[in-house]
Amino acid sequence: MWRRWSPGYYAEEDLRHVDAAIGTPESWRAALGPYRATIRNTRPPAAYAELNRWWTEPPRLPSLYLHGRDDGCATPAFTHWTENVLPAGSDVAIVDHAGHFLQLEQPEKVAELILTFVGTPG
């Protein structure tokens, strides 16, 4: 999955940390469950329907959406849809030389974009 989603990123060390953190087969099933549910287009259990509604609505506060140009999970064209639904004051940026895990692949650029959006401390 990481090779497909972030084709230019050497993820072996990060994957060891992920595997150590998740660990058991049961935990892996739980960690991958939301991805599988999205692909299968399943509905949430009734107890979580309200929470799911909030999760799928566009944000109400200004937001920064960052997307890796080489993302193998979602095409950068997705940003056009994102720009249309984000509220005023939001920003969208495509990060070059980054895939799906852009905060790992281009941490300095991601930090710069975040600081520009929220402002520097002080």
Pick from 105, 73, 72, 109: which is nearest to 93 by CA?
Answer: 109
* 3-class DSSP state of 50: helix
Domains of the chain: 2-118 (3.40.50.1820)
* 65: CB partners within 8 A, 6+ apart: 79, 82, 86, 90, 91, 92, 93
Burial class (CB in 10 A: 0-12, 13-18, 19+), 34: exposed
- Predicted confidence pLDDT, tens digits, the chain (122 residues): 778 888 888 888 888 998 899 999 899 888 888 778 777 767 778 888 888 788 788 999 999 999 999 999 889 998 999 999 999 999 999 999 999 999 999 999 999 999 999 997 76
Give residue 40's Cα distance to chain centre: 19
Give the span between the Cα atoms of 32 and 50, in whole angstroms.
22
Q: What is the pLDDT of residue 34?
A: 78
pTM: 0.80
Q: What is the pLDDT of residue 122?
A: 65
Q: What is the pLDDT of residue 68?
A: 96
Give the span between the Cα atoms of 55 and 47, in whole angstroms.
14
* 28: CB partners within 8 A, 6+ apart: 22
